[in-house]
Amino acid sequence: MHKIEIPQEIRDRSRALRGDRDVLFDRIDPSRTAHVVVDLQNGFMREGAPVEVPVAREIVDNVNRISAALREAGGRVVYLRFTYDANEPLGWPAWYEDTLSGEHSGVLKEAFTPGSHDHDLWPGLDVLDGDLVVDKTRFSGFVHGTCPLHDILQEAGIDTLIITGTLTNCCCESTARDANQLNYKVIFVTDGNATHTDWEHNATLSNMAAIFSDLQSTDRVWETIERSTAQLIAAE
């Protein structure tokens, strides 16, 4: 698991901007909340995978725990899959041609084409009937024309997202940033996201804390769901 270290300067600045609050979303409506699990696929998880992130295997229990708690409270679980689609109308040459080497581009295209083993979700995830699996062809799940995530969430009345997955500083951060700007309340799970190094993980947590989301640990998310559910029941 990543060792979490957010500079005190950033914590202080964030607290000041947020009205002296450590936690923004300590009460949520679970029925309007989705747990968005980003790219926990074989191509990122298995040993020797094209984009292996070893720490991602260590967060699976936390991810499953959050999913179970939110389902029980009436929320939704959505699994995003990073996908290469050779026939998509809106191609991505800036990534596959201009950024990546030809060799690496070919490896990623093959790995994340639907039907490949690496495109599949990691078998350790507790994916249940009623959960959603949504493919995306960009880092973020909210790039118009490349993923139906926003439309799906809006149709379901979702206004709050709990984000876990990999890579912390790529697809998870990109999805969280865009979600914030689309008016979702975003909880970014400190020990439910993973990347290559502690440094990269903490850099994203610093960005999230300073601007884009509420940071909560898995334990705190579980408490938030339980407390919110109890308060809603008491108010009935």
pLDDT at 230 over 90: no
Please compute the mean of the pLDDT values over residues 193-214 and round it to a whole number. 96
If 0-12 CB within 10 Å is exposed, 13-18 middle and 19+ buried, where does residue 236 land? exposed
| pLDDT tens-digit readout, 6-44 | 999 999 999 988 888 888 999 999 999 999 999 999 999
Q: Which CATH superfamily is domain 8-235 in?
A: Isochorismatase-like (3.40.50.850)
Rounded CA gap, 118 and 132, in Å? 19
pLDDT at 146 over 90: yes
Domain ranges (residues) in the chain = 8-235
Task: List the strands of the sheet with 76-82, edge to edge.
Answer: 132-136, 76-82, 33-38, 160-166, 185-194, 214-216
Q: Which two tokens stand for residue 117?
A: 């083993």
pLDDT at 233 over 90: no
pLDDT at 194 over 90: yes
pLDDT at 154 over 90: yes
